[in-house]
């Protein structure tokens, strides 16, 4: 079920009404779990067993880890959970990719009769997200950070809680499970803030992301038909689209969760204001990057085993992060590219730290502005790798972004035209204004600080713009595919 679909706008009020009408904690949570499972099974009912199976395995593994008397015993049950979750993820998400690559390799190595299989496996909803939640739970129990959950309903609800089920935020057990212990009560600020985040998410998704997609899709489908200026605007528009799409989903999830009395972690913090790539990953998809740090990078040894091992760990973590985003070489390259940028940043940071002139330079506002622009440009180069449909198209747009297109591909793009609908700069400007209005002042959202009457006016205007100017048929959230 899509948050921006009609079905969801019928589903949500019904679930909210029944949830708050039910008298006791247990009945509320049982009902919420049932609603979450319905939400999960809505689109592809025959994958319902996947979430049930992984929930049962992780629930049992948590208890068995806690009950095991020896470290080896604990490790065995942890392994069961890891193999189950990663096995499902690999089977559904990477089988087609692996088979395709093996066959391509076989053909390249002189087996021309290799079968031309094109596997098209439909992903179970949110599998990348709920498997990571399951892993984080069993690892935390193994590390002794949290006790194992004894009530299956509580654990299953942690995995399947519908606002965050499909596209995050990736909630940790330590963040969510304690909220189940206290009686579910919704405060007035949660109701109002829920409305705020819900409308903000919907506005970002429907009014900005879906509109920008109409421009981005066309340019990236045939980049050879457009000139370098159009390419640059398409990249800016895609940066705005993916941010508004994904952070919009997170905002919707956070808003929805508040109406049920739950707090979900923040997933974005104005990432395009980052002044380094390291900071970008602290502001972009925060719950994924911290998950990668805590359960992969640190498990690999983190920065405790010397410089070269640290750089290797960084590269491996980011490459796997890229692979998590999608089973295509584009994503692997994008992850590796980000790893390289992080390594370079770390090297540069090490070299400059402690030097007085470097500290003075870093303190200058102009330098900060320059680093923000540079970081955004580096991020944009990475986004092109993800968005391009062909390597040729990718190269063409990258050249435009690097300012080399005029000379490098002039003959190929001699007939290329400039196409820039006026609303594209307006919407890109709106994303930039949002960053400036709240992010530069270090606020979570500046609208929350406005007087009540102005806030209400802003919400009503947002509804007006969403309904009247959002595209008729809402596209699926980009992060659903991950």
User: How near is the Cβ of 214 to another protein at its closest, in Å?
Assistant: 10
CA distance readout (Å), 204 to 333, 387, 470: 28, 19, 10
Question: Coil, helix or strand for 417?
Answer: strand
Write out the two tokens for 185: 């009560």
Q: Which residues bind another protein (CB under 8 A)?
A: 6, 20-24, 28, 183-188, 191-192, 195, 421-423, 452-453, 455-457, 459-460, 463-464, 467-469, 472
User: How near is the Cβ of 422 to another protein at its closest, in Å?
Assistant: 4
- Rounded-to-integer distance, Cα 161 and Cα 57, Å: 17
Q: Which residues on adjacent β-strands are paired with residue 417? A: 226
User: How near is the Cβ of 27 to another protein at its closest, in Å?
Assistant: 10
Give the DSSP H or E segment for 27: helix 25-41
User: How near is the Cβ of 467 to another protein at its closest, in Å?
Assistant: 5
Residue 150 exposure: Cα atoms within 13 Å on the Cβ side: 3
CA distance readout (Å), 289 to 233, 241, 293, 297: 28, 20, 6, 10
254 vs 321, beta carbon nearer another protein: 254
49 vs 464, beta carbon nearer another protein: 464
User: How near is the Cβ of 262 to another protein at its closest, in Å?
Assistant: 14
48 vs 423, beta carbon nearer another protein: 423
User: How near is the Cβ of 124 to another protein at its closest, in Å?
Assistant: 27
416 vs 424, beta carbon nearer another protein: 424
- Rounded-to-integer distance, Cα 277 and Cα 27, Å: 46
Provide the CA 226 distance to its chain's centre, in angstroms: 30
- Rounded-to-integer distance, Cα 346 and Cα 422, Å: 40
User: How near is the Cβ of 437 to another protein at its closest, in Å?
Assistant: 19
Question: Coil, helix or strand for 226?
Answer: strand
CA distance readout (Å), 155 to 33, 234, 327: 10, 43, 29
Angle at 197 (CA atoms; ends 423, 241), nearest 5 degrees: 30
User: Helix H segments across 166-276?
Assistant: 173-181, 188-202, 210-221, 228-259
303 vs 474, beta carbon nearer another protein: 474
52 vs 195, beta carbon nearer another protein: 195
Would residue 435 show up in a list of annotated catalytic residues for this protein? no
Torsion of CA 182, 168, 477, 460, to 10 degrees: 40
Cis peptide bond upstream of 169, omega within 30: yes
329 vs 419, beta carbon nearer another protein: 419
Active-site residue (options: 130, 196, 325, 345): 325
Task: Tell me how crowded residue 370 is: count the other CB atoms within 10 A of its CB.
Answer: 13
Q: Which residues form the catalytic set? A: 325
């Amino acid at each position: 079920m899509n948050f921006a679909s009609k079905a969801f706008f019928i589903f949500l009020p019904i679930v909210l009404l029944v949830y708050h009408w039910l008298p006791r904690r247990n009945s509320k949570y049982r009902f919420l779990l049932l609603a979450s499972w319905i939400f999960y099974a809505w689109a592809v009912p025959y994958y319902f067993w996947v979430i049930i199976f992984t929930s049962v395995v992780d629930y049992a593994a948590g208890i068995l880890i806690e009950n095991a008397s020896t470290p080896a015993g604990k490790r065995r049950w942890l392994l069961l959970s890891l193999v189950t979750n990663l096995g499902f993820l690999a089977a559904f998400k990477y089988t087609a990719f692996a088979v395709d690559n093996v066959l391509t390799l076989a053909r390249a190595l002189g087996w021309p009769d290799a079968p031309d299989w094109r596997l098209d496996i439909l992903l179970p909803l949110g599998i990348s997200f709920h498997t990571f939640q399951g892993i984080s739970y069993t690892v935390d129990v193994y590390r002794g950070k949290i006790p194992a959950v004894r009530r299956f309903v509580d654990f299953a609800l942690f995995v399947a809680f519908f606002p965050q089920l499909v596209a995050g935020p990736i909630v940790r057990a330590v963040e969510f499970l304690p909220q189940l212990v206290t009686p579910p009560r919704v405060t007035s600020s949660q109701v109002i803030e829920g409305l705020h985040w819900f409308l903000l998410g919907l506005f970002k998704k429907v009014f900005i992301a879906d509109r920008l997609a109409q421009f981005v899709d066309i340019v990236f489908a045939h980049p050879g038909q457009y000139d370098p200026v159009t390419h640059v605007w398409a990249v800016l528009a895609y940066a705005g689209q993916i941010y508004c799409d994904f952070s919009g989903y997170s905002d919707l999830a956070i808003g929805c969760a508040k109406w049920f009395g739950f707090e979900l972690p923040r997933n974005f913090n104005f990432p395009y204001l980052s002044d380094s790539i390291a900071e970008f990953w602290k502001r972009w998809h925060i719950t994924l990057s911290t998950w990668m740090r805590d359960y992969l990078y640190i498990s690999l040894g983190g920065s405790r085993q010397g410089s070269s091992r640290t750089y290797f760990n960084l590269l491996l973590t980011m490459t796997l992060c890229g692979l998590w985003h999608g089973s295509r070489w584009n994503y692997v390259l994008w992850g590796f590219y980000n790893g390289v940028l992080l390594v370079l940043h770390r090297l540069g940071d090490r070299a400059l730290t402690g030097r007085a002139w470097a500290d003075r330079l870093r303190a200058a506002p102009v330098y900060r502005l320059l680093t923000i622009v540079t970081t955004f440009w580096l991020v944009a180069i990475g986004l092109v790798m993800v968005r391009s449909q062909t390597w040729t198209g990718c190269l063409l747009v990258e050249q435009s972004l690097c300012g080399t297109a005029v000379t490098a591909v002039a003959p190929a793009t001699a007939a290329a035209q400039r196409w820039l609908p006026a609303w594209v700069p307006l919407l890109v400007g709106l994303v930039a204004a949002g960053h400036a209005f709240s992010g530069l002042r270090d606020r979570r959202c500046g609208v929350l600080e406005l007087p009540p009457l102005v806030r209400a006016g802003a919400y009503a205007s947002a509804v007006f713009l969403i309904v009247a100017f959002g595209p008729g048929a809402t596209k699926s959230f980009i992060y659903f595919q991950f």
